[in-house]
Amino acid sequence: MHDIRSPASAVTPSVPVSSTSAVTAAVRELFAAAYPGEPFDRVATAFEEFDKLFTGRMPGYHGVDTVYHDRQHSLDMTLAMARLLAGYERSVESRMRFGAERAVMALVTSLFHDAGYIREFGDRQHRNGAEFTLYHVTRSARFLARFLPTIGMENWVPVSTRIVHFTGYEIKLDQIQLADNRDRKVGHLLGTADLIAQMADRCYLEKCRDRLYPEFVLGGIAAAPGSDGALQVRYSSGLDLLRQTPEFVRETRVQRLEGEFEHAYRYVEPLFGGKNPYLDAIDRNLVFLHRVLRTERWVMLRRKPPLFTSGDGQLGQLLALMLTHLKALCV
């Protein structure tokens, strides 16, 4: 049977999105085309520091141990963001363009949008970064507030720490206060890049079942005590999460991508001859998922993508923590 999620259908077959150096080179090329002659050094430094942070080489941090929100996800999302930025600058009038300085801020914010999942040394309360799920964006904003001044961008801290919330659900988007409408548009692109990069991943379905569900358990999303003390179950298993994924994608597309983010995904299309490889890949994933759900042939979801965390054995550790957490909830 032909696998409609074959490597040929990947969004970025020519850019290995697990490689920091490869994504840096691709983003550099897009940046140079959009902003000829403008320096890329601060973005390059941000990539270097990102790699240190996520691989556990930045002093004071453990490195990434979340198996869904891993290093590859942030790189994939940042490449999508660079493409959206480049396409946007081609598509709008000069008065609406972002300019190089704002684009640098946007790319740095993209790189560190999930820094809030990473545990700090001395934290004896949390066992895995997934436990920060419900407030990880706020933690990412705090990291950005500390990092941006180190590359001479302290003036952008108020904007970056606000627009990063377009990637989450901790603050209602209409409550994010921004003085310049261009910054709000950057937020739309940022939130769009985060969603389309992960949903277009050709291993998205397996990652939801095998990696996102355990993160949701530890993060208190899959199940948690309600206001009356009774256990409220949103996702009973990884398969249950998959069963609810078509509706999640539909709602996300209508409410966020097309509604709140105002069809910002269209800005990749000038780079791909009017086509949108991200939406096409998302549609292919949904077609395949519907086939799996209709036949209940779960064996069709057989991909085992590599992990890009800071250490070995972290999926097994997460699963063990998940089981312990579930047992505690059921007591």
What dihedral do alpha carbons 204, 172, 110, 87 form, nearest 10°? 90
Name the pTM for this structure. 0.95
The answer to whether position 246 is within a domain reads: yes
The answer to whether residue 223 sits within a structural domain is yes
Give residue-wise pLDDT tens across range 51-78: 999 999 999 999 999 999 999 999 999 9
Q: List b or e across 168-198, with b for residues whose CB sees 16 or more CB atoms inside 10 angstroms.
A: beeeebeeeeeeeebbbbbbbbbbbbbbbbb
> What confidence score (pLDDT) does residue 329 get?
86
285-to-62, 74, 214 alpha-carbon distances in Å = 33, 20, 21
**Is 225 in contact with 325 (CB distance < 8 Å)?**
no
Within-domain flag for 131:
yes
pLDDT beyond 50 at 2: no
pLDDT tens column, 14-29: 899 999 999 999 999 9
Greatest distance between any 2 Cα atoms in the chain: 62
- The boundaries of the domain holding residue 215 are 15-330
**Has residue 7 got a pLDDT over 60?**
no
Asked, for residue 1, whether it belongs to a domain, the answer is no
| Cα–Cα distance measured from residue 127 to residue 65, given in angstroms and rounded to the nearest whole number | 10
pLDDT band of 228, cuts 50, 70, 90 = confident
CATH number reported for the structural domain that contains residue 323 in this entry = 1.10.1300
On whether the CB atoms of residues 84 and 98 are closer than 8 A, the answer is no
For residue 5, pLDDT over 60 is answered with no
Q: How far apart are the first and last CA of the chain?
A: 45
Q: What's CA 277's distance to the chain center, in Å?
A: 17
CA distances from 215 to 94, 133, 174, 313, 330 (A): 43, 8, 28, 15, 18
Q: Is residue 24 part of a domain?
A: yes
pLDDT over threshold 70, residue 6: no
The tens digit of pLDDT for each residue in 275-299 reads 999 999 999 999 999 999 999 999 9
Whose tokens are 């948690």? That residue is 224
Residue 5, in any domain of the structure: no
Q: What is the total count of domains within the chain?
A: 1
pLDDT in tens, 90-102: 999 999 999 999 9
What per-residue confidence (pLDDT) applies to 10? 57
